[in-house]
Chains A and B, each alone.
Chain A
Amino acid sequence: QKEVEQDPGPLSVPEGAIVSLNCTYSNSAFQYFMWYRQYSRKGPELLMYTYSSGNKEDGRFTAQVDKSSKYISLFIRDSQPSDSATYLCAMSARGGTSYGKLTFGQGTILTVHP
């Protein structure tokens, strides 16, 4: 069993839709949770990161963490064609001052069509 599971999709939605991307994990040591966006032929770009259970909002993006269920989500409101990319969840057990090794999900391919 993989430590982090993410539905690879692909996910296709119309412009303006609310998108929900999800990951589950099995390692209770994971304390920090990140979402990265990766455009074709580019490196992953950090979108959001959080430590606590609950919601964290940044513009059209909301990251949600439920540590009791080992489940995290990223919601995108009013989705735009420019949001079309692969979305990767990542997790860290973080010891000390460094996040150290990030364990990634497989990535979800999202297409937002006009």
Chain B
Amino acid sequence: SAVISQKPSRDICQRGTSLTIQCQVDSQVTMMFWYRQQPGQSLTLIATANQGSEATYESGFVIDKFPISRPNLTFSTLTVSNMSPEDSSIYLCSVEDALGQPQHFGDGTRLSIL
């Protein structure tokens, strides 16, 4: 299965700033997704990153807060904008590859906002 690398692995940020998280895959994949895992809670899908077009956001998530790019089949970024303490979470990238298996996940970015 595809190997997924996320950067940064963790960060501590100030309120009101923005952070861009990168997801790099070692092979071309058909689908890429961004999830959020809040402390003590399960994973929630933020959006599907579409190659060459705007991401598809889930209910409760908007582009102004979580802009996403996917310029090619191996790379995507998620920006968390104008951060507040409520944005403290683990943000995870996942992919579906050509093998037809369900999504594989990166190790996530652990984000704390002060």
- Number of A residues contacting the other chain (C-beta, 8 Å)? 24
- Contact call B102/A102, Cβ cutoff below 8 A: yes
Distance (whole angstroms) from the CB of B20 to the closest CB of chain A:
19
Residues of B72-114 contacting chain A, CB below 8 A:
92, 94, 96, 101-108, 110
Distance (whole angstroms) from the CB of A50 to the closest CB of chain B:
10
Q: Quick one: closest B residue to A2, CB to CB?
A: B42
- Contact call A99/B96, Cβ cutoff below 8 A: yes
Asked whether any CB of chain A lies closer than 8 Å to the CB of B31, the reply is yes
| Residues of chain A within 8 A of B105, CB atoms compared | 36, 43-45
How many angstroms from the CA of A92 to the CA of B48 in the assembled complex?
Answer: 14
Asked whether any CB of chain B lies closer than 8 Å to the CB of A100, the reply is yes
| Residues of chain A within 8 A of B96, CB atoms compared | 98-99
How many angstroms from the CA of A42 to the CA of B41 in the assembled complex?
Answer: 15
Q: A43-B92, A98-B96 are in contact. Are A88 and B48 (CB under 8 A)?
A: no
Kindly identify which residue among B41, B48, B110 contacts A106, using a CB–CB cutoff of 8 Å. B41
How many angstroms from the CA of A6 to the CA of B41 in the assembled complex?
Answer: 11
Chain A positions within 8 Å of B, measured between CB atoms, are 6, 32, 34, 36, 41-46, 49, 88, 90, 92, 97-102, 104-107
- 4 closest Cβ contacts across the A-B interface? A43-B105, A104-B42, A43-B107, A104-B43
